[in-house]
Chains A and B, each alone.
Chain A
Amino acid sequence: MDEKLIPSHVYFARWFIRIRWASIIVLAVSNYVVKRFFNISVNEIAIYIIVIILILLNIAHSYLIKTIANKRNSNIILQIKNEIHFQIFSDFLLLTAVIHFSGGIENPLVIVYYLHIIVSSSIYPLKISYLHTFFAILCYFTLIFFEYTGILPHYHLQGFTSPELYLNKLYILSYCFVFTLIAIIIASLSNRIISKSIKSEETYVKTNLELEKKEKIQNEYVQRVTHDIKGHLAAILSCLEVIKSKIKGDLNEVQEEFVLRAYERTEILTHFVKNLLNLTQKKLLNKIEYEEFSIQALINKIKPAIQILAKDKNISFEDYIEPGTNLIIANPYAIEELLMNLLTNAIKYTPPGGRVNLNIRNRYENILFEVSDSGIGIPPEDLPFIFDEFFRAKNAPKDFKYGSGLGLSIAKQIVDNHKGKIWATSELDVWTKICFTIPKKPTFD
């Protein structure tokens, strides 16, 4: 499974790099200032050499992070983590060198080790952050021990602390004890506190990916099943048609009644399966094919069919297109289906003598379509759910047997595929208005 990039890792890696630039400047400047103005003796040249090494290392780190982030490999998190390992280990070594050349145990810079321990314990499992912690302790102890035993020379910070501090056994022991204790506490505490939020972020990303995958599998399953069912239903329908049309002889009244019942139920089921298949395919569609077309031409194309339906129920149908609203880049077949779907719905739920209107307006980057009717309306408590699959409003007439509860879900899916918005407003028993927007040009993430 390819993991999505979890920003916190990159964030920490970049944060380290930024802190390092700041510390490089601070180190260089303080090295200069401490020597010139405070008369504290530090090994100036050695520190400047370390500064140069740090600069080169930091350039390498930022280059590495950039390369890893740009490649977006499947194991990007692992690579970023390894890069941070590299940063932590190299920093510990250099920090130990800086401390060595500027007073050893006398230097308060020892606190900088803690910064890395905090970051390490935030993004790594506790075991690994303890490893980093013990590496820091090892570096520091070795330095102190080597200076104490004279294996390494001691560079005393003249004018800063007592010159014999690095030989004071009690001081060294208590200092090292406190250093170790605090390092371990920091590692375990920040691992507990910070890593919790990062881990939940990791889990969130993973769960999301798994959910998407599961939904896709489920949709593919529905697609296969409904497609098979549709084939069988088509065969049943045309076999029943042979009996129903009495080609091969007449039926008695009861026989005819039951053939008609069976035929009608099969038709309803076919309609439902077709809608379900349609919706599932739209969900599985990962790319729409866009083309530029004229909205006016599309309306002219669907108008005759709508007018016939409206006239049959003595409903007045009017359409209005705001001047200057014409070309759109979208999928013309999907938009045609969407408008037909909403307009036939509006006619279906409007009593004879009512009206259905289609208004199309310019809205900045979008085209706004409004389908309104003087129909039975939608109960306020049902309004939030009308785009949900299989939902039918409580006041939907029971004799509308063809209602699959999928029509508006299909409409919403088409709008979603175009990255538009769809919503409804209504007053029960008075009117319903369904609006949707489609971007004039496709928007890509």
Chain B
Amino acid sequence: MKKKILLIDDDDDILRSFQVILENKGFNILTAKEGVSGYELLVKENPDALILDIMMTSNLEGYNLLHQIKQNKEFSQLPIIIMTGMRDQMGVNLYSAVEDNELFPNVRFQDKPADPNEIADILNEMLK
């Protein structure tokens, strides 16, 4: 059975190319362009993992979404890959604070621009 992955990113081109590459790697990819529809899709489809662009249109949108998801008990163990320019944006320390936070287990951070092949490897490892 193909693993179902939800990909949330506001960049159309990233969304589409990641979808094609990851589908080729054997994943079933669902996409959403922003947080609200992303969360609806998450609840509806219950994917195996989530790939989230933390810096979506507004600076806090991605981070708030992450918080909202991890607050929900159903998704507290959901594997999440965060593609982030946050380290660039806010300095390394917020990154480490989020990483260290036990509220967010099963979360990986990937610097942007992320290589879709690397993302596929991380997904495979997290979904083992």
Contacts and interface: CB of A to CB of B under 8 A. Distances in A.
A254 to B, nearest CB: 22
B113 A238 contact: yes
A84 to B, nearest CB: 45
A222 B31 CA distance: 32
Interface stretch (B39-47, B74-82, B86-94): B86-94
B116 interface: yes
Interface in B1-42: 11, 13-14, 16-18, 20-21, 24
A406 to B, nearest CB: 14
A289 B21 contact: no
Q: How large is the interface on A (under 10, 10 to 19, 20 to 34, 35 or more residues)?
A: 20 to 34
Given A230-B85, A333-B92, A333-B96, A235 B20 contact: no
Contacts of B116: 238, 241
Contacts of B114: 234
Contacts of A230: 85, 88, 112-113
A249 B116 CA distance: 18
Contact of B88 (A233, A277, A289): A277
A334 B95 CA distance: 13
B91 A237 contact: no
A245 interface: yes
Interface residues of B, number: 22
B93 A333 contact: yes
A234 B88 CA distance: 15
A361 interface: no
Contacts of A331: 92
B24 A238 contact: no
A238 to B, nearest CB: 4
Nearest to B97: A289
A238 B92 contact: no
A314 to B, nearest CB: 27
B88 to A, nearest CB: 6
Nearest to A289: B93
Contacts of A278: 88
Contact of B113 (A233, A242, A285, A289): A233
A19 interface: no
| Secondary structure dominating the interface of A | helix
B13 A235 contact: yes
Nearest to B93: A289
Contacts of A238: 13-14, 17-18, 21, 113, 116
Contacts of B91: 281, 285, 289
A375 to B, nearest CB: 28
A105 to B, nearest CB: 73
A301 to B, nearest CB: 13
Interface string A268-281: 00100010011001
Contact of B20 (A234, A248, A270, A285): A248
A247 interface: yes
A81 interface: no
Contacts of A245: 21, 24, 117
B88 A227 contact: yes
B27 to A, nearest CB: 13
A341 to B, nearest CB: 14
Contacts of A334: 92
Contacts of A241: 17, 21, 115-117
A278 to B, nearest CB: 7
A239 interface: yes
A281 B88 CA distance: 7
A276 to B, nearest CB: 11
A231 interface: yes
Contacts of B88: 227, 230, 274, 277-278, 281
A235 B11 contact: yes
Contacts of A242: 17, 20-21
A280 to B, nearest CB: 10
Nearest to A284: B91
A270 B85 CA distance: 13
A245 B120 CA distance: 14
A234 B18 contact: no
Contacts of B112: 230-231, 234
A191 B75 CA distance: 77
Contacts of B13: 235-236, 238-239
20 contacts: A227-B89, A230-B112, A230-B113, A231-B112, A234-B11, A234-B112, A234-B114, A235-B11, A235-B13, A235-B14, A237-B115, A238-B14, A238-B18, A238-B113, A245-B21, A247-B20, A247-B24, A270-B113, A289-B93, A333-B93
Top 5 A-B residue pairs of the complex, sorted by shortest distance between their CB atoms: A234-B113, A235-B13, A333-B92, A238-B17, A247-B24
Interface of A: 227, 230-231, 233-239, 241-242, 245, 247-248, 270, 274, 277-278, 281, 285, 289, 331, 333-334
